[in-house]
Chains A and B, each alone.
Chain A
């Protein structure tokens, strides 16, 4: 794709500063780059001190890295956001209805809208969830929808994260850092706050407590432990919500409840926000080797003794093969046309699509159906001939394992580089809370930015950075 067709969210296509950025740009223009550079370093020290680091898998023991933070905010107008959030809400509603249906009467399969084997042969489908009535009917208590922008107001959903979306701590810390470094910016711009997220999260989780819970339900966060790459976030959220951070070995099933070992004996938990994958949740019901879970928790869950957030088995809805059916899913359950667009997707499980994908590898992005974190994908336009040849073999060997999408012309937002403002590609992950009280979307979310020129990969594990994301008041 040629360079001039790229949409820059600050400068548009015609180098005119767009409305939401005008205030910021005037400020930036007056600033001494030296002072900003010093501020940039200050931000990094701040992050290191507060310990906002992530552990990198496969590196020397307990190496902690910072996710690079860029001081130029990504700014979205209030009206643009209002439109976007209507689409997000519709999609999240549909996902929950889909999950309920799939684990109950499977109307969508009966209606022939999705091939049956897409579900029955899907590793993310959890047979143990069939017929389970989850508290409040909520499956995905916390969702992160990954969006990319290609032009003014043109957003596409890249993927849905309906299992345990991470990164929300960066959204909060990025804002905190900006507030500390540039308080004057927030008096010049009316930016919608995000700091209420932890309290909203606690309320939303408490509202999903099982019927047997007391009026003030006990919430806890389940982490795999301090060596997990996202441990900082688990601790951060528990701390901000004012709830306990537990590990599997702190928990035990007693009298039909899941209880945590306190200094005064075992105390039952009503809602468990788990950051442990389905497979490791319960060695008696899932992976027997797991040291991270709680033996018997699934039996308590099925009997209505605890709420697990997100519910086991939600992975079936954010699976990359199911993704391609999302427009049908939204229509089937809401009776409305989808407000958010899907990226056109070829399912390599279908022979015609596979043939097309194999013929056009150099123009396509090919992803593993169950992959995440930017691992195991091919970006055709930037890949070498050798990479493509190697990938072709993998694809032919297990076509079902892959989907392919065209390379979209992702928007850019400038970063503050040595040479001044320089455009870099970004994506956006808004965070959505779901409870019987309603759906709540925090204005903004996490903007991830590819720091390398021309790169489309924004994942932190692949050298991406983050930005503060502003939604302006109208």
Chain B
């Protein structure tokens, strides 16, 4: 496969995943905002910070509000991880790798682009927000579904999966970090019913509430939730799960020339580090510090993939 094609596949799936996860982050922010006690829109600063787009927002806006933050994350062309930017970039990359993906995958990406272009042509009102977020998730699921159902399991698929899980790990870490930021100003709320409601909204935003309840019944607090989203290998959005997938797919790509050796080494370091410890160890280390460190390692892995597989000349 061409290095350029591997690059295009990797980013097409990263951006598709990012569009979905940005929608999930907005949903998290919205839910937390709806359960807060104070009357400011400060928590949106945390959401933007977690989405790694706060600096860009501040550079173009003087004040923060729910509407401005949501619009920035959904529709802004100046925000490199807004839903609109991500879907456009996913489609652009899909055009680039049109020969590597099946016709059905291309059509799914193209129809996501067309539907969201229409749905996001104008500012989305608070009332319409849930259905728009659902639409984004729906289209992302379609792309994932036809990918699963129509693509050969070869190196093309491996690069698609690398992009998907790298981005997903990145986003799960960020969604968890939102909670950390929101908690900061009100540390005394830890363990209150409000705190639990907010943790639960994190679960919801990664579609993990059902699974969590299946495992823990009516019990389980913040620690169990963090454990579930970070260390549980059965939970498809957990860090351990995503990093495990990275490791698997890099294994499939390994050949007689030992392609991707440097990347595999970095992934194993991440896997055998904190992710092999217990949630208590992670809390002792500091949740925020752990998440920040994980994000850094993920971005190093991404750069190593680019090098190992000759994405650029």
Contacts and interface: CB of A to CB of B under 8 A. Distances in A.
Interface of A: 48-51, 226, 231, 235-236, 238-239, 243-247, 249-250, 252, 260-265
A136 B199 CA distance: 71
B95 A51 contact: yes
A49 B3 CA distance: 27
Contacts of A244: 1-2, 5, 99
Contacts of B159: 263
B107 A49 contact: yes
B300 interface: no
A389 B92 CA distance: 45
Nearest to B110: A51
A244 B96 CA distance: 11
Contact of A226 (B96, B103, B106, B309): B96
A396 to B, nearest CB: 45
B297 interface: no
Given A51-B107, A239-B103, A244-B5, 16 more contacts: A50-B106, A50-B110, A235-B95, A238-B99, A243-B99, A244-B2, A245-B98, A249-B4, A250-B2, A250-B4, A250-B313, A260-B2, A262-B2, A263-B155, A264-B257, A264-B259
Interface residues on B, range: 20 to 34
Please report whether the interface of chain B is mostly helix, strand, loop or mixed according to DSSP: helix
Contacts of A263: 1-3, 6, 155, 159, 253, 259, 309-310
B95 A261 contact: no
A261 B1 CA distance: 8
Given A226-B92, A246-B2, A250-B4, A262 B98 contact: no
Contacts of A250: 2-4, 313
Contacts of B103: 50, 239
B60 interface: no
Contacts of A247: 4
Contacts of A51: 95, 98, 106-107, 110
Interface of B: 1-6, 92, 95-96, 98-99, 103, 106-107, 110-111, 114, 155, 159, 253, 255, 257, 259, 309-310, 313
Most buried by B among A49, A250, A261: A261
A247 B257 CA distance: 26
19 contacts: A49-B110, A49-B114, A50-B103, A226-B92, A226-B96, A238-B99, A244-B1, A245-B98, A246-B2, A247-B4, A261-B310, A263-B2, A263-B3, A263-B155, A263-B159, A263-B309, A264-B259, A265-B257, A265-B310
Given A51-B106, A263-B6, A249 B96 contact: no
Contacts of B309: 263
Nearest to A244: B2
A187 B96 CA distance: 37
A48 B115 CA distance: 12
Nearest to B253: A263
Given A50-B103, A51-B95, A226-B96, A249 B313 contact: yes
Contact of A49 (B5, B96, B111, B253): B111
A120 B260 CA distance: 54
A262 B3 contact: yes
A261 B99 contact: no
Contacts of B96: 226
Contacts of B310: 261-263, 265
Contacts, number: 69
Given A246-B2, A263-B310, A264-B259, A239 B98 contact: yes
The 7 tightest CB contacts between A and B, nearest first, are A235-B98, A263-B309, A239-B99, A238-B99, A261-B3, A245-B99, A263-B6
B3 A231 contact: no
A224 to B, nearest CB: 13
Given A50-B107, A235-B98, A245-B98, A264 B255 contact: yes
B114 A48 contact: yes
A107 to B, nearest CB: 43
Contacts of B98: 51, 235-236, 239, 245
Contacts of B257: 264-265
A180 to B, nearest CB: 13
Nearest to A226: B95
Contact of A262 (B1, B92, B99, B253): B1
Contacts of B255: 264
A202 to B, nearest CB: 13
Contacts of B6: 263
Nearest to B260: A263
Contacts of B114: 48-49
Contacts of A252: 313
B308 to A, nearest CB: 8
Contacts of A235: 95, 98-99
A295 to B, nearest CB: 12
A298 B2 CA distance: 22
A249 B96 CA distance: 14
Contact of A261 (B2, B155, B253): B2
Nearest to B103: A50
Contacts of A245: 98-99
A275 to B, nearest CB: 14
A401 B313 CA distance: 42
Contacts of A48: 110, 114
Contacts of A261: 2-4, 310, 313
Nearest to A263: B309
A244 B98 CA distance: 10
A350 to B, nearest CB: 47
B260 to A, nearest CB: 9
A249 B95 CA distance: 17
Most buried by A among B3, B110, B257: B3
A416 B310 CA distance: 51
A265 B313 CA distance: 11
Contacts of A262: 1-3, 310
Contacts of B1: 244, 262-263
Nearest to A267: B2
A468 B206 CA distance: 48
Contacts of B3: 250, 261-263
A239 B99 CA distance: 4
Contacts of A264: 255, 257, 259
A402 to B, nearest CB: 38
Contacts of B313: 249-250, 252, 261
A231 B255 CA distance: 33
Contacts of B111: 49
A252 B313 CA distance: 10
B313 to A, nearest CB: 6
